[in-house]
Amino acid sequence: MSPMARTAPVPAATDPAIIRNFCIIAHIDHGKSTLADRMLQLTGVVEQRDMKAQYLDRMDIERERGITIKSQAVRLPWELDGVSYALNMIDTPGHVDFTYEVSRSLAACEGAILLVDAAQGIEAQTLANLYLAMENDLTIIPVLNKIDLPAAQPEKYAAELANLIGGNPEDVLLVSGKTGVGVEALLDKIVRDLPSPVGDANAPARAMIFDSVYDTYRGVVTYVRVVDGHLSPRERIQMMSTRASHELLEIGVSSPEPTPSKGLGVGEVGYLITGVKDVRQSKVGDTVTNLAKPAAASLSGYADAKPMVFSGLYPLDGADYPVLRDALEKLMLNDAALIYEPETSAALGFGFRVGFLGLLHLEITRERLEREYNLSLISTAPNVEYEVTLEDKNVVHVTNPSEYPVGKIAAVREPMVSATILAPNEFVGAIMELCQSRRGVMGGMDYLSEDRVEIRYRLPLAEIVFDFFDILKSRTRGYGSLDWKADGDQVADLVKVDIMLQGEQVDAFSAITHRDKAYAYGVMMTGKLRELIPRQQFEVPIQAAIGSRIIARESIRAIRKDVLAKCYGGDITRKRKLLEKQKEGKKRMKMVGRVEVPQEAFIAALSSDESKDKAKK
Amino acid sequence: MPSTLPLGEPAPADGRLPPSAVAGSRDRAFGLYVHIPFCAVRCGYCDFNTYTAAELGGGASQASYALTVERELEFAGGALAQSGIAQRALSTVFFGGGTPTLLPSQDLSRVLQTAKNVWGLEPGAEVTTEANPDSVTPESLAELARAGFTRVSFGMQSAVPHVLAVLDRTHAPERVPLAVEWARAAGLKVSLDLIYGTPGEELSDWESSLEAALTLEPDHLSAYALIIEDGTALARRIRRGEVPMVDDDDHADKYEIAENMLRGAGMSWYEVSNWARTGEDQCRHNLAYWKGHDWWGAGPGAHSHMGGTRWWNVKHPAAYAQRLDTGASPAAGREILDETARYVEDVLLRSRLAEGYLVAGLQPEGRHAVAGLIADGLIEPADAFKGVVRLSGRGRLLADAVVRRLLPN
Ligand SMILES: Nc1nc2c(ncn2[C@@H]2O[C@H](COP(=O)(O)OP(=O)(O)OP(=O)(O)O)[C@@H](O)[C@H]2O)c(=O)[nH]1
Ligand SMILES: C[S@@+](CC[C@H](N)C(=O)[O-])C[C@H]1O[C@@H](n2cnc3c(N)ncnc32)[C@H](O)[C@@H]1O
Ligand code: SF4
Ligand SMILES: [Mg+2]
């Protein structure tokens, strides 16, 4: 067993031979961050007294939800057979919305720990992330975690894992991130089995940007992995895509707090600070080189994260629009996956159409905006991007149902995904039924082991982004897992359903749906609104329509009584307080024409019933 | 369970009022409210500050109660004088509860006498007591009339036995005509309180109750929609599903029935829930609340108002008596209204009256809302053209909404 390293290799002067770069990848919740905690402790970079669970999940929202959203890289010293090594560990998120974070992290590593919960076995993101790691030619170390759990089945899942990646079940390491069992052996194995980075120390520098984060105090902090050459403090560097040059104000490693160094050499992972204020000037996937001695060719970068789901974000109080604009601008500094543009809604006023990676990304962004910028927001029904070809051959891309062209449409294409679902084989029937009802076409099915299957479907993205996963979970009693990735588009028979209150179209409630589902949407939305909108001083008809054809209708009867009359014995203060409360309530209303619609009604009407409090996991 | 008091600032122990309350007091009418916090039983819907003998653990406080209130009246006289408030004779006195007539008539008369000693009564002053139909006798009513009472307001609530039962009322319906007759014989004007919208009350039940009340030819009638107050036994029964929840539409129907029948019988509304046979018969004490006049409220939990300062007494009779024993003000808290709050209250209160609110007195938002209120049928167009915002029949049922529209956001 190895002791904690007595001397840590010094950044900028570390022989690549003693460097090991790896990331921890897994399905959501299989324990990556907890395992990372034990590594921080065992290597001594975090003192016992400073330790807290999921140490690297630093954002409030990560801590509250108990999930990782951003990858974190940390340099750890580790000694084996008398040699001190420098390990760069990257903890990655497990949720499918953040898969792009995983792919970036993989590009900074030679190896990956494929972590599998010993009580759950292989799940959809295990496969997806393993696939990404293999694509990047990484050496995989299979590890079963949570072996302390009574429900753990290490033999069964070791066999499953070995079967998946080739090798012997005995080679699968057994650890517990909770108790620390097996973690030292894992660190030793990382040193032994993972290749050290190779690069040309004398060549012009080439460093790959794998993350870029805006920090209020320090400006943009850029995380890089040096491939060739050397970067030193105070030198001028150049971004190879834009040719923009900056002075390196600070360079260092995270261990896990930022620690300035004399530079970074071949194979090292660390951070740069140049004083730029916008993450887009320091783009993920770009290559950093020396301005004085620039490299000839850049490293191959990554594809930009592509937003898949769009939603309108509107301040409840129109006066907050500038606050929302500034807030989005700031969030975007930190989240290159976020895109937005201003839009106006007849019902909601001025807001933004924002593109997200998925519903969790939407939810988190919205929550951060509300919390960190003290905003009250309404988000419109999320939708995907459609490509509409008009009869005059013009093509429009529609991310907002209210912009859906009227009439004269030649064809509509909708984005597709290929989805992988893993579940015990007893649920195959239920899963097929679900996918079929979502217009899916089956691609194939494989047995991972005797009783677990992998089912592949091609489905319209619009059918899976919202409540699909929750329904999948409930139909498989929690055992099903899902992974998906974009897979082109297809022509589809789509229509726009409008919702009208008192004859006035409420663009926020319009939806683009498959023709077969339009009626169901109309009935559902008009019914919901009837429940959600309080009675007004006049009758409010609610209608759903395709073009001018009404497909569903409801009506809210006029309120007849809104007066409190009792002899209060002179307690007028109470009456006034009551009025103030009523007026406060009114402030939380949005006017749609003359109809007062409570904020809650927008939120409730626009969130799907079955997925209201979930969507997180 | 009695409802809670508002939150305000602490009230000074000597009862002294701020200068803002003093200014202009000479020209304002002045009334007295006396709270009697005792009832024989607690009705399931009621959250007034009242206690049964069992709740108080003995009748001692009830026996000495008149004395305690008299002490507050004397304290009030001193505090008002010291604050520099103009010395005015009382225009109205109102004994409410609780059940004032649970106390011997002599006690009520003594308290009234003390009030006369402290302030004096204006000629033609209105002096009312509330009463439960089964807590009066011909003698007790005659005694009250002799002492100077001019009006009695009976809690009739309903004439229908199953409705009275849900309300936990103890009196037999037949008792009401008797009580009214005795009051008339004593020379007292009569008012009746009715409650509508009790769970299980049919429209025809409500019509019968109105019918029964009108047969008695009251001078004044209050009809209140039953409010399910938090913390009451009735609220719990509804929550447990033992009786159905009351319904706003049912309330609206019944209000319309009341308005039609009462108007048919020659009574006119002067406040959303109050009707009177003639202008003379309107309850002037009640009007004083809506018009923001000055009044002193004596007794536990009683509220007072003096030129924009509102205060309220400690709630429990024991705590109340204790304060007065030490010579301190029984006030638990107070609120000095600023300009905005005074305007809000003025609109809130006066717009519920048949005499309406002067358009000229409204701030711009309010004046701009008038046209919309006419369009929506919530105020009387003809009155609006004459410069008065006066609720229409529909508007009375939506009075809170009208007020919100008249006031700035
Ligand atoms: N019993 C037991 N629980 C563990 C172990 N490792 C992690 N957990 C628990 O599993 C849950 C998820 O752990 P995390 O470390 O946040 O998982 P993660 O893989 O980082 O999750 P994401 O970052 O959201 O994908 C937490 O409740 C941990 O306490 C383990 O070895 N044993
Ligand atoms: C102070 S109370 C009581 C007078 C007397 N103790 C009685 O009950 O006959 C005055 C009136 O308020 C009305 N009231 C009391 N509680 C009510 C409630 N929860 N909803 C509507 N009106 C109520 C009743 O009509 C009652 O007569
Ligand atoms: S008698 Fe009157 S005051 Fe007493 S509990 Fe009943 S309603 Fe309330
Ligand atoms: Mg994590």
Q: Is the pTM of this model over 0.80?
A: no
Whether B402 contacts B384, CB under 8 Å = no
pLDDT of residue A220: 87
Question: Residue A575 — φ and ψ, nearest 5°?
Answer: -65, -40
Tell me the mean pLDDT in the region B245-251. 91
What's the token pair of residue B109?
Answer: 């008369």
Whether A357 contacts A365, CB under 8 Å = no
- A171-215 pLDDT per residue, tens: 999 999 999 999 999 999 999 999 999 999 999 999 999 988 888
- Give CA–CA dist A17/A10, Å, rounded: 13
Known binding residues of A: 29-34, 145-148
* Residues within 8 A of A (CB atoms), B 69-128 only: 96
Question: Residue A272 — φ and ψ, nearest 5°?
Answer: -130, 145
Whether A496 contacts A511, CB under 8 Å = yes
- A537-592 pLDDT per residue, tens: 889 999 999 988 999 999 999 999 998 877 666 788 888 888 888 888 777 777 88
Cα nearest neighbour of A594 on chain B: B372
Question: Residue B106 — φ and ψ, nearest 5°?
Answer: -60, -40
| Alpha-carbon distance A539 to nearest alpha carbon in chain B (angstroms) | 12
Whether B228 contacts B234, CB under 8 Å = yes
Ligand found nearest the CA of B155 = 2
B251 touches chain A (CB under 8 A): yes
Whether A96 contacts A358, CB under 8 Å = yes
Q: Does domain A387-492 have CATH number 3.40.50.1980?
A: no
Q: Reply yes or no on whether the pLDDT at A3 is more than 70.
A: no
pLDDT band at A607 (very low <50, low <70, confident <90, very high): low
For chain B, how big is the Rg over CA atoms in Å? 21
- Give CA–CA dist B111/A266, Å, rounded: 98
* Neighbouring-strand partners of residue A211: A223
pLDDT above 90 coverage of chain A, percent: 57
Residues whose Cβ atom is located within 5 A of ion ligand 4: A 32-33, 68
- Give CA–CA dist B40/B46, Å, rounded: 13
- A439-464 pLDDT per residue, tens: 999 999 999 888 889 999 999 999 98
Q: What residues have CB less than 8 Å from A202, skipping those under 6 apart? A: A229
Looking at chain A, the domain(s) classified CATH 3.30.70.240 span 387-492
**E-strand stretches of A363-437:** 377-379, 386-390, 395-398, 409-424
SS3 at position B391: strand
Known binding residues of A for GTP: 29-34, 145-148
- Domain A309-380 maps to which CATH number in 3.30.230.10, 3.30.1280.10, 3.30.70.870, 1.10.10.10? 3.30.70.870
- What crossing angle do the helices spanning B399-406 and B364-375 adopt, rounded to 10°? 140
- B398 contact residues in A (CB cutoff 8 A): 537, 559-563
**Highest mean pLDDT, choosing among A97-101, A212-216, B347-351:** B347-351
B358 touches chain A (CB under 8 A): no
What's the token pair of residue A408?
Answer: 């004269």
* Residues within 8 A of A (CB atoms), B 139-198 only: none
Whether B92 contacts B126, CB under 8 Å = yes
Atom of ligand 2 nearest to the CA of B132: 9
For A237-251, b where at least 16 C-beta lie within 10 A, e where not — what string? bbbbeeeeebebebb
* Neighbouring-strand partners of residue B127: B93
- Give CA–CA dist B342/B283, Å, rounded: 23
Whether A511 contacts A522, CB under 8 Å = no
* Neighbouring-strand partners of residue A77: A86
What's the token pair of residue A551?
Answer: 């497909």
| Residue A452 DSSP one-character state | E
Best of B221, B403, B407 to mutate (most A CBs within 10 Å, chain A): B403
DSSP letters of B300-313? TT-EEEETTEEEEE
| Alpha-carbon distance B131 to nearest alpha carbon in chain A (angstroms) | 15
- B289 contact residues in A (CB cutoff 8 A): 568, 570, 572
Atom of ligand 3 nearest to the CA of B169: 6
**E-strand stretches of B241-330:** 268-271, 274-276, 294-298, 303-306, 309-313
Q: What residues have CB less than 8 Å from B328, skipping those under 6 apart? A: B13, B14
Q: What residues have CB less than 8 Å from B47, skipping those under 6 apart? A: B1, B2, B3, B229, B230, B231, B232
- Give CA–CA dist A30/A122, Å, rounded: 10
DSSP letters of B183-225? HHHHT-EEEEEEEE--TT--HHHHHHHHHHHHHT--SEEEEEE
SS3 at position A211: strand
Cα nearest neighbour of A559 on chain B: B249
Q: How many CB pairs under 8 A join A and B?
A: 104
Q: What residues have CB less than 8 Å from A192, skipping those under 6 apart? A: A80
Residue A24 CB coordination number (10 Å): 29
Q: Reply yes or no on whether the pLDDT at B381 is more than 50.
A: yes
Q: Which residues of A touch B (CB under 8 A)?
A: 537-538, 559-577, 579, 582-583, 586-587
Looking at chain A, the domain(s) classified CATH 3.30.70.870 span 309-380
Q: What residues have CB less than 8 Å from A465, skipping those under 6 apart? A: A308, A309, A358, A359, A382, A384
Higher pLDDT, B334 or A590: B334
**Helical H segments across A533-571, by residue range:** none
How high does pLDDT run on average in chain A? 89
* Protein residue whose Cα sits closest to atom 6 of ligand 3: B43
| Residue B38 DSSP one-character state | B
CB contact under 8 A, B400 and A579: yes
pLDDT of residue A610: 39
- Give CA–CA dist A23/A110, Å, rounded: 9
Tell me the mean pLDDT in the region B27-43. 95
Torsion of CA B358, B359, B364, B365, to 10 degrees: 90
CA angle centred on B229, ends B226 and B235, rounded to 5°:
90
Atom of ligand 1 nearest to the CA of A53: 29
Residues comprising chain B, all counted: 409
Cα nearest neighbour of B296 on chain A: A570
CB contact under 8 A, A573 and B303: yes
Strands A173-174 and A139-145: parallel
Best of A557, A560, A588 to mutate (most B CBs within 10 Å, chain B): A560
Atom of ligand 1 nearest to the CA of A177: 31
Q: Reply yes or no on whether the pLDDT at B102 is more than 50.
A: yes
Q: Does domain A496-616 have CATH number 3.30.70.2570?
A: yes
- Give CA–CA dist B292/B284, Å, rounded: 12
Judge if the beta carbon of residue B273 lies within 6 A of ligand 3: no
B257 touches chain A (CB under 8 A): no
- A300-342 pLDDT per residue, tens: 877 777 888 899 999 988 899 999 999 998 888 777 788 899 9
pLDDT of residue A616: 34
Q: In 3D, which of A201, A197, A245, A249 has the Cα closest to residue A225? A: A197
**Residue located via tokens 């559902």:** A524
pLDDT of residue A254: 93
Mutate to test the pocket of ligand 1, among A32, A34, A149 (most ligand atoms within 8 A of CB): A34
Rounded distance from Cα B136 to ligand 3 centre (Å): 15
In order of start, what are the domains of chain B with their CATH numbers?
19-291 (3.20.20.70), 338-409 (no CATH)
Tell me the mean pLDDT in the region B142-164. 97
Judge if the beta carbon of residue A176 lies within 6 A of ligand 1: yes
Rounded distance from Cα B33 to ligand 2 centre (Å): 16
- Domain A16-193 maps to which CATH number in 3.40.190.10, 3.40.50.300, 1.10.1740.10, 3.40.50.2300? 3.40.50.300
Q: Half-sphere exposure of A586 toward its Cβ, with a 13 Å CA cutoff?
A: 17
- B278-315 pLDDT per residue, tens: 999 999 999 999 999 999 999 999 999 999 999 999 99
Question: Residue A363 — φ and ψ, nearest 5°?
Answer: -60, -45
CB contact under 8 A, B398 and A565: no
Rounded distance from Cα A382 to ligand 3 centre (Å): 55
pLDDT of residue A612: 39
Whether A73 contacts A92, CB under 8 Å = no
* Protein residue whose Cα sits closest to atom 2 of ligand 2: B97
Strands B151-157 and B189-196: parallel
pLDDT of residue A609: 45
Rounded distance from Cα B310 to ligand 2 centre (Å): 23
- Give CA–CA dist B42/B1, Å, rounded: 9
Looking at chain A, the domain(s) classified CATH 2.40.30.10 span 206-290
CB contact under 8 A, A567 and B255: no
- A539 contact residues in B (CB cutoff 8 A): none
- B227 contact residues in A (CB cutoff 8 A): 564, 566
Tell me the mean pLDDT in the region B12-36. 93
CB contact under 8 A, B303 and A570: yes
Rounded distance from Cα B153 to ligand 2 centre (Å): 11
**Fold entry, domain A206-290:** Elongation Factor Tu (Ef-tu); domain 3 (2.40.30)
